Amino acid sequence: MEMIIALALLGILLAIAIPSLQSYAVNENLRTAVRDFMSDFAMAKERAISENTNYTISFSQGGNQYIITSTSGANTQIKPFSAYGASIQSSIPAGVTFQTRGTVDPPTDTNGGLTLINPRGSTAVITWNAAGRAYAQFAMR
């Protein structure tokens, strides 16, 4: 009898906890997507400086991905946001280009930024300045 009561209590606790854990996992995937993008953003800046060539990060809303390319085209990487369950909304259709000294063209001060949205409606807005420093703001639901 005690075993049945303990199992019933465990079942009730799991029924309450599982939806919270699922929403936590969805929001954590959004945070991971932002961390990975910001890491790639910094990597493109570092490569532009060290290789003395321009690097461009372009956004494909239809493909739900971003593409990192060098001026020479030798180092092209395609990174999907769909792996994180997030969709992309970019207000900068041409993307962003890192010059050989590490500066960014265009900065997002006047041109918007990159917005990621997950299925729960949580958003992450990534902006950057002319010096190539990226910032993220989250609105979690």
The domain ranges of the chain are 2-139
**Six token digits for residue 73:** 């085209």
Q: What is the reported pLDDT for 44?
A: 94
Helix (H/G/I), strand (E/B), else coil: 44: helix
* 15/70 Cα distance (integer angstroms): 50
What per-residue confidence (pLDDT) applies to 113? 78
Q: From first to last of its 141 residues, what are the pLDDT tens digits of the chain?
A: 899 999 999 988 888 888 777 788 888 989 999 999 999 999 999 999 999 999 999 888 777 889 999 988 777 899 988 888 777 766 566 688 999 999 998 776 555 678 888 888 888 988 888 898 999 999 988
Task: Choose the CATH number for 2-139 among 2.40.30.170, 3.50.50.60, 3.55.40.10, 3.40.250.10.
Answer: 3.55.40.10
Q: Which residues contact 83 (CB under 8 A, 6 or more apart)?
A: 33
Alpha carbon distance 99, 6 (integer Å)? 64
Tell me the backbone φ, ψ of residue 76, rounded to 5 degrees. Answer: -100, 130
Q: Rounded distance, CA 43 to CA 55, Å?
A: 10
pTM score, whole prediction: 0.81
